[in-house]
Amino acid sequence: MAFPNDLLASHIASQAGGFEPQRDGAGVLQVNFPADAQGDLTTLMLAVKAVALPIRTMGQATISYLAGYAKVPTKPDEPGDLTVTVHDYVDVQVYDMLHRWSKLVHDLTTGFSGFSSQIKSSGALVYFGPDGSLEREWRLIGIWPNTLIPARTLDYENNNPVQLEYTFVMDNYIFEDEE
């Protein structure tokens, strides 16, 4: 008896096309800085190492009718935070802009926090195929930095990418095909 072809992995990354696995390191985080956080840059793009998109869940209500029950969906629950680990060559200018944006959210020196209109911005999380074509894109709406964990040391003498872990709070995220 011959081995069934549909149990082989011939449909994955095959010569004839079909499913192509997503490659690591083929994604970028694009952030449009608010006007008050801008320096020489208005948009920042960093290579994504890891990201955890928040899980979307729907609220539900239980309706009783006679001797039975039915569950119906209600409004969606608010999205959680977006935690992104980026690895890129982060120079002083880029790091200063990230710090300036965080300082707009809450200035530790003065104790003041910024207005939503000053700190919220937009962005995108984009994944590319191996040939550079756009594969997936999530629009990030109403994002602002919640946590910035800088690299342990910023050593500009080596060639290793600096890793930053950033947590954003956001109003919503939309997969581009959902519109």
Residue with tokens 């994504």: 48
Q: What is the pLDDT of residues 46-85, one digit of tens each?
A: 888 888 878 888 889 999 988 999 999 998 888 888 888 8
**Taking the complete model, does pTM exceed 0.75, yes or no?**
no
Query: Could you tell me the domains of the chain?
Result: 23-178 (2.30.110)
Highest mean pLDDT among 19-23, 91-95, 153-157: 91-95
SS3 for 80-149 is CCEEEEEEECCCHHHHHHHHHHHHHHECCCCCCECCHHHHCEEEEEEEECCCCCEEEEEEEEEEEEEEEE
Single out the residue of 143, 141, 152, 144 nearest to residue 176, CA to CA: 141
Looking at the chain, the whole-number percentage of residues with pLDDT higher than 70 is 74
